[in-house]
Amino acid sequence: MKYARLVAIGILVAVAAACLLANFLAPAPYAHQYREIPDASPSHQHLLGTDDLGRDRFSRLLYGTRVSLLLAPAAALLSSLLAGLIGGIAGFAGGRTERMVMAATDLFLSLPWLFLLITVRAVLPLNVAPLTSVIITFALLGCLGWAGAARVICADARTFSQSDFLVQARATGSSGFRLLWRHLIPNLRPILFAQFWISIPVFILTEANLGILGLGVAEPLPSWGSLLRELESFSTVSTQPWQFVPLILFIVVVSSFHLVLTRQELPT
Amino acid sequence: MKKPFFFIFFFIMTASMMAQSGGELRFCLHSEPKTLNPVLMEDDSSETIRYLTGGVLMRVNRQTQELEPELATSWKVTDAGKTITFQLRKNVRFSDGTSFTAADVAYTMQLLMDPATHSPTGDAFRSGDGKVQTKVLAKNRISITFPSPISGLDKLFDQVAIMSATSPLKEMAVLGPYMVAENKAGSYLLLKRNPNYWKRDANGRQLPYIDSVRLDIQQNRDIEMVRLTHGEIDLINSLDAEYFDKLESTDRSMAHDAGVSLDAEFMWFNQVPNSPLPAYKKAWFTSTNFRRAISESINRSDMARIVFRGHAQAAIGPVSPANKFWFNAKLQPHPFDQKAALQLLAQDGFHLQGDTLRDRDGHAVEFSIMTNSGNKYRERMATMMQQDLSGIGITLNVVTLDFPSLIERMTRSFDYEACLLGLVNTDLDPNSVMNIWLSSSENHQWNPGQKTPATAWEAEIDRLMKAQASSLDPNKRKEYFDKVQEVAWQQEPFIYLINKNALSAVSPSLHNVHPVALRPQVYWNIDQLSLTSEVAGNR
């Protein structure tokens, strides 16, 4: 397992480096349409061929990976912080506060995510640049994805608040904020960290789902969602197997995240 | 002596094969029909059932686009277009054996025009306040009088399936070639040959040749394609360009391109005065020069070649060239000329500053175009427009929305800048687009529901559309509608982009197929179609 984890970390580092260096590695601008050669097969000029509008697939893969791989962790960080704040306070306070916050969390969890995202996306301003739209999409994912993690954190915070070391800290006269800041949060950090890692592949998948529905990142900016959309029609894809490369990369990256996560979950 | 014998034998064999009777024709519906009642039908699947089962007084021949007699042997429009009198075919019976008479036509018309029925087909006949009067003149003769004149009245009867006034089976008693025998909700519909169908072929043989039609409910186009190539179904009435190319590469004989269809893809700018857009953008969108510049900056040929893989052509105006009579042949496609576009923009004070186009007040020209999510062809068109418009310094943001949100913005909040959508046309007559071109109409998308026309050219279109609708002379009507097309071409409230081709797939086991541009493209002559003896014998 240790070897597998090292390989996973290596893959993630390599993929992250490749997409961060996309400006140098990409053989063509990701949005440029080579209209004379749409749907071209792989060649020296276009390593993964061109898409249906004649755009270089390899360049789009690099930039799409950058979008998904940078913004999914950002969204995961946002949702983990929200989950830590809401779940931590609820668990620490206990009693009526906890019941009320958890009832609100349950209500939030029962909302159909996809429809909520579609609705929120629909009321946002239309005239926004593609980069803004992608940030909005991931910010939405971050704002809406805290509830499940908040439940876990609340349960742990409750356990800690009743633990001996916290009782001892109270007995020595520590105030509420000091208890929270010095004693509770440091102990919740591994759980928050685990929630953060769990959320990354979830958000990547959600963006991919939104992209497949055509509601993700706006054209011409690529993302894994928009790249995976090309696989909708298997009768067309079957003649162009190189279109599976984004899917393979997607599976490899998400699997690598899970392997790395196993390491984080181990007791330290 | 052997050769003539061989030819006679060959002729008999071929004739018998071509007129192969029996077997089951199979194809797919993409959704379940919402109703089997012909007066209530409005969805595609229901209309397929109506076409296959309904008997009509006259039918527009989908190939020649001419009106041909069916259950009515003759008809006459009188009283300045208010009255139509039909002479009906004798000795015709419904599928359940009840006789077809003028009373059935009267019953159908009353049902159709009853406001309580809410018939979408009946809406086309609503010409003014007042009741529609039906007068049975004889058993086989009837006159129908409408409160106001209706131009192109006779062609509207192509959509009216006659129902029996007396049959206990109600709408299930039909006069068309087939009748519904089985309906497994969500799975399939089985239509059996109408034993009393009145039509016969040149040899006096009762039509249709094929015994039954099985319509499988199948939403997934991929599975539909696989089923066609495996011989499980016999036709796909309407194909996407991608599937068409795929099929053509595997079996050229199955792929049929019937040429340009009536369907159009177009965009428009929001010109609603009270929309929540900044004043400077409203000024752009209401400028004819701006709209024409955008139009001339879009490479329609590239769109047709890349997005529709060559199975489309650059749209010219509101009427597709597939509409043989009403298309104004004097109009030419808008050229792709970005230099000319910049000159037009310069007339309105727009200028290039570096790579960015700015208006006379210095605002960078940037706008969004919304379209419905899930339609990859429209998304691709919008993305191509993005690159085209960047060529004249315009930034275009593409937004895909779910359909309800799009409609909300388009019809209620008017909170959008431009929209890209398509129009599926089934009717050839300009009266069917009155609700789009009249400035007072709610479907006058760029600025709906105007109390008085906002511009002189919209007033002119109103006048011409009303003039064509009130004239009974087809040539005079054409003259008026030609002018409408010219004004629309010059002003471009709708920027027409593409007319798609009518693409279909037909199995070699199906004979006498002549795919056309009008719907239903493949089975418009359903009663003449036949299956090979091999396939017919296996089903």
Q: What is the 3-state secondary structure (H, E, C) of B233-262?
A: CCEECCCCHHHHHHHHHHCHHHEEEEEEEE
Quick one: pLDDT at residue B492? 97
Give percent of chain B above pLDDT 70: 96
CB count in 10 Å sphere of residue B358? 16
Chain A contact present for B414, CB below 8 A:
no
Q: Which of A31, A128, A234 sits opposite B397 (nearest CB)?
A: A128
Q: Which of B243, B400, B415 sits opposite A214 (nearest CB)?
A: B400
Contacts of A223 in chain B (CB under 8 A): none
What domain range is A103 assigned to?
Answer: 2-265
Chain B contact present for A190, CB below 8 A:
no
pLDDT tier, B11 (very low <50, low <70, confident <90, very high otherwise):
very low
Q: Which of B366, B374, B401 sits opposite A122 (nearest CB)?
A: B401
Chain B residue closest in CA terms to A134: B399
Quick one: pLDDT at residue B330? 96
User: Residue B397 and residue A54: Cβ atoms within 8 Å?
Assistant: no
Chain B contact present for A240, CB below 8 A:
no
In whole angstroms, give the CA distance from residue B520 to residue B46: 12
- The whole-angstrom distance between residue B115's C-alpha and the CA centroid of its chain comes to 25
pLDDT averaged over chain B? Answer: 92
Which one is predicted more confidently, B101 or B149? B101
pLDDT for A42-93, tens place per residue? 999 999 999 999 999 999 999 999 988 888 889 999 999 999 999 988 988 8
Chain A contact present for B310, CB below 8 A:
no
Q: How many CB pairs under 8 A join A and B?
A: 88
Mean pLDDT across the stretch A157-166?
87
Chain B contact present for A214, CB below 8 A:
yes
Residue among B533, B510, B536 at smallest CA distance from B523 = B510
Fold of B260-500: Dipeptide-binding Protein; domain 3 (3.10.105)
User: Residue B397 and residue A232: Cβ atoms within 8 Å?
Assistant: no
Q: Per-residue pLDDT for B5 more than 60?
A: no
Contacts of B242 in chain A (CB under 8 A): 233, 236
Chain B residue closest in CA terms to A38: B306
**Helices A57-93, A185-212: inter-axial angle, 10-degree rounding:** 140
pLDDT for B474-483, tens place per residue? 899 999 999 9
**For chain B, where do the domains classified as CATH 3.90.76.10 start and end?**
55-175
User: Residue A219 and residue B398: Cβ atoms within 8 Å?
Assistant: yes
**For chain B, where do the domains classified as CATH 3.10.105.10 start and end?**
260-500
Quick one: pLDDT at residue B21? 64
Quick one: pLDDT at residue A263? 52
Question: What are the Cα distances from residue B217, in Å, to B36, B156, B334?
Answer: 15, 29, 41
pTM given for the model: 0.84
Q: What is the ipTM of this complex?
A: 0.80
pLDDT tier, B20 (very low <50, low <70, confident <90, very high otherwise):
low
Residue B166 to chain A, least CA–CA distance (Å): 49
Give percent of chain B above pLDDT 90: 77
Contacts of B401 in chain A (CB under 8 A): 121-122, 215
Q: What are phi and psi of B348, to 5 degrees?
A: -100, 10
For A177-191, B62-76, B215-229, B501-515, which range has the lowest pLDDT when averaged over its residues? A177-191
Q: Per-residue pLDDT for B240 more than 70?
A: yes
Q: Per-residue pLDDT for B305 more than 90?
A: yes
Question: What are the Cα distances from residue A197, in Å, to A194, A203, A255, B53?
Answer: 5, 10, 12, 60
Is residue B335 exposed (0-12), middle (13-18) or buried (19+ Cβ within 10 Å)?
exposed
Tokens of B48: 């397929």
Contacts of B370 in chain A (CB under 8 A): 126
Quick one: pLDDT at residue A267? 42
In whole angstroms, give the CA distance from residue B191 to residue B25: 10
Q: From the candidates A30, A34, A39, A53, which should be mutated to test the interface with B, based on the most B CB atoms within 10 A? A: A53
Q: Are B216 and B26 in contact (CB under 8 A)?
A: yes
User: Residue A126 and residue B400: Cβ atoms within 8 Å?
Assistant: no
In whole angstroms, give the CA distance from residue B139 to residue B412: 51
pLDDT for A192-234, tens place per residue? 888 888 888 888 878 877 776 666 778 898 988 888 878 876 6
Residue B232: CB partners within 8 Å, gap ≥ 6? B26
Q: Return the CATH number at A127.
A: 1.10.3720.10
β-pair partners for B398: B369
Mean pLDDT across the stretch B310-320?
96
Chain B contact present for A132, CB below 8 A:
no
Chain A residue closest in CA terms to B371: A214
Chain A contact present for B386, CB below 8 A:
yes
Q: Which of B366, B374, B408 sits opposite A214 (nearest CB)?
A: B374
Architecture of domain B55-175: Alpha-Beta Complex (3.90)
Both ends of chain B: CA-CA distance in Å?
A: 39
pLDDT for B335-357, tens place per residue? 999 999 999 999 999 999 999 99
Q: Per-residue pLDDT for A266 more than 60?
A: no
Mean pLDDT across the stretch B514-527?
94
Residue among A31, A207, A197, A84 at smallest CA distance from A136 = A207
Tokens of B394: 């315009």
Range picked from A91-95, A187-191, A262-266, B67-71 for highest mean pLDDT: B67-71
In whole angstroms, give the CA distance from residue B315 to residue B283: 26
User: Residue B366 and residue A127: Cβ atoms within 8 Å?
Assistant: yes
Domain count across chain A: 1
Residue among B380, B323, B499 at smallest CA distance from A51 = B380
Chain B contact present for A219, CB below 8 A:
yes
In whole angstroms, give the CA distance from residue B116 to residue B119: 8
Contacts of A129 in chain B (CB under 8 A): 395, 397
pLDDT tier, A265 (very low <50, low <70, confident <90, very high otherwise):
low
User: Residue B246 and residue A236: Cβ atoms within 8 Å?
Assistant: yes
Residues 26-65 of A with CB under 8 A from B: 31-33, 35, 38, 52-54
pLDDT averaged over chain A? Answer: 85
Q: Per-residue pLDDT for B393 more than 90?
A: yes
Q: Per-residue pLDDT for A1 more than 80?
A: no
Tokens of A125: 């301003």
Question: What are the Cα distances from residue A244, in Å, to A213, A229, A237, A247?
Answer: 19, 11, 8, 5
User: Residue A214 and residue B383: Cβ atoms within 8 Å?
Assistant: no
Q: Are A248 and A3 in contact (CB under 8 A)?
A: no
Residue among B56, B65, B63, B134 at smallest CA distance from B92 = B56
Range picked from A82-86, A167-171, B55-59, B396-400 for highest mean pLDDT: B55-59
pLDDT for B137-192, tens place per residue? 999 999 999 998 888 889 899 999 999 999 998 889 999 999 999 999 989 999 99
Element at A262 (helix H, strand E)? helix A245-265
Chain A contact present for B416, CB below 8 A:
yes
User: Residue A234 and residue B383: Cβ atoms within 8 Å?
Assistant: no
Q: Which of A35, A52, A214 sits opposite B373 (nearest CB)?
A: A214
Q: Which of A35, A127, A236 sits opposite B417 (nearest CB)?
A: A127
For B190-194, B468-472, B492-496, which range has the lowest pLDDT when averaged over its residues? B468-472
Question: What are the Cα distances from residue B29, in Å, to B68, B241, B368, B528?
Answer: 27, 19, 35, 21
Mean pLDDT across the stretch B313-331?
95
User: Residue B397 and residue A127: Cβ atoms within 8 Å?
Assistant: yes
Residue A250 to chain B, least CA–CA distance (Å): 22
Quick one: pLDDT at residue A235? 62
